[in-house]
Amino acid sequence: MQTVLVAGGAGFIGSHLCKSLLDDNYKVICIDNLITGEIKNLRDLEKNKNFRFINQDLIQLKNLSINKIDYIFHLASPASPSQKSPRSYIKFPVETLLVNSQGTYNLLELGRKHRACFLFASSSEVYGDPTVSPQDETYFGNVNPNGVRSVYDEGKRYGEAVTMAYVRKYNLDARIVRIFNTYGPKMRPDDGRVVSNFINQALKGDEITVYGDGTQTRSICFVDDMIKGLKIVMFSDKSRGEVINLGNPDERTILDLAHLIKKMTNSNSEITFEELPEDDPKTRKPDITKARKLLDWKPEVSIENGLEKTIEYFKRP
Ligand code: UDP
């Protein structure tokens, strides 16, 4: 049986990934310091004899008593940009920089020791506020190097650089995925992200808060599609040393998304407009040609179907 280490496995995407890997019959070791992840995301997994949880900070990764690691997914990082959320990377700026730099280095060293395959979860944020759309992997981005979002953007850019250094210098079997906006069950209601905010506001009859005039765009990917993509990238030899965008290219304006969620929840909420956060990207849309051609991956869940499942999740007590 092969062993997979999931760093950040108690988070939204990480916990879905742990479950999916257990279903595929891998032994799964989840490392998380619960800074933004939640133990309740792992509740169903803890009964599984092939699952182990280690509460540890990757910045000071101590000796782990693990005999063999075959694969390492590095998804550990605060990820929400919301200034209003207690969980955002803006509240944990230094931790965010360090988990993506020192934390990535520590995991790469672990990968080297175990001759493991490695996947670094980067982000569409490396493109910053893009001047081209859609964004393909060859675009270098337009990032403010010291603005409020820089701790995440530059953290991810450093994480990519150090991962590629291990590919070139040590021939590590590593790959990088740039994750675009992803949503679905197990998002934190207090995360401050657009989908979780709008659904919860609509269900409660609160104001649906559009930041700016709502003409900025995002392309949102349902979590099940993202998990399939992450596994395909990890378990394929073709992705060795590659950088690959994963996301759903179905681009919508934030105002359209507000109207869609209001309609799908039959909500009477009013749509209101608030100040646009600093450095909020104006557009974001992945070019996924590379993932499609190289790995035959593309998202299959429509926005409407994905939102329906997410709304059901948030309706549950
Ligand atoms: N947004 C919004 N209202 C909210 C939360 C977010 O209008 O209550 C906007 C935000 O300004 C951004 C987009 O929705 O333009 C996506 O924000 P999110 O925090 O989900 O992720 P980002 O793509 O900015 O990392």
Neighbours of 94 (CB within 10 A): 9
Please give the number of the atom of ligand 1 that sits closest to the Cα of 195: 20
CA pair distance 148, 144, nearest whole angstrom: 9
Range of the structural domain that residue 87 is part of: 3-183+221-249+287-301
Asked if residue 213 is part of any domain, the answer here is: no
| pLDDT tens, per residue, the chain with 317 residues | 999 999 999 999 999 999 999 999 999 999 999 999 999 999 999 999 999 999 999 999 888 889 999 999 999 999 999 988 988 999 999 999 999 999 999 999 999 999 999 999 999 999 999 999 999 999 999 999 999 999 999 999 999 999 999 999 999 999 999 999 999 999 999 999 999 999 999 999 999 999 999 999 999 999 999 999 999 999 999 999 999 999 999 999 999 999 999 999 999 999 999 999 999 999 999 999 999 999 999 999 999 999 999 999 999 98
CA pair distance 243, 93, nearest whole angstrom: 25
C-alpha 20 to ligand 1 mean position (Å): 28
Q: Which CATH number fits the domain that encloses residue 122? A: 3.40.50.720
Neighbours of 60 (CB within 10 A): 11
C-alpha 193 to ligand 1 mean position (Å): 6
Ligand 1, residues 193, 270, 273: which to mutate, most atoms within 8 A of Cβ? 193
Has 152 been annotated as catalytic? Answer: yes
Asked if residue 37 is part of any domain, the answer here is: yes
Asked if residue 122 is part of any domain, the answer here is: yes
What's the pTM value of the predicted model, to 2 decimals? 0.97
Q: What's the domain count of the chain?
A: 1
Which residues are registered as beta bridge partners of 29? 5, 52
Asked if residue 307 is part of any domain, the answer here is: no
Asked if residue 149 is part of any domain, the answer here is: yes
Asked if residue 43 is part of any domain, the answer here is: yes
| Of residues 300, 240, 269, the one with CA closest to residue 118 | 240
Query: What is the number of alpha carbons within 13 Å of residue 236 lying toward its C-beta?
Result: 17
Asked if residue 151 is part of any domain, the answer here is: yes
Instruction: Check pocket membership of 33 for ligand 1, CB cut-off 6 A.
Output: no
**How open is the CA angle 124-60-31, to the nearest 5 degrees?**
60
Asked if residue 269 is part of any domain, the answer here is: no
Tell whether omega for the bond before 134 is within 30 degrees of 0, i.e. cis.
yes
How far, in Å, are 33, 115, 202, 312 from residue 163 at the CA level?
22, 14, 41, 38
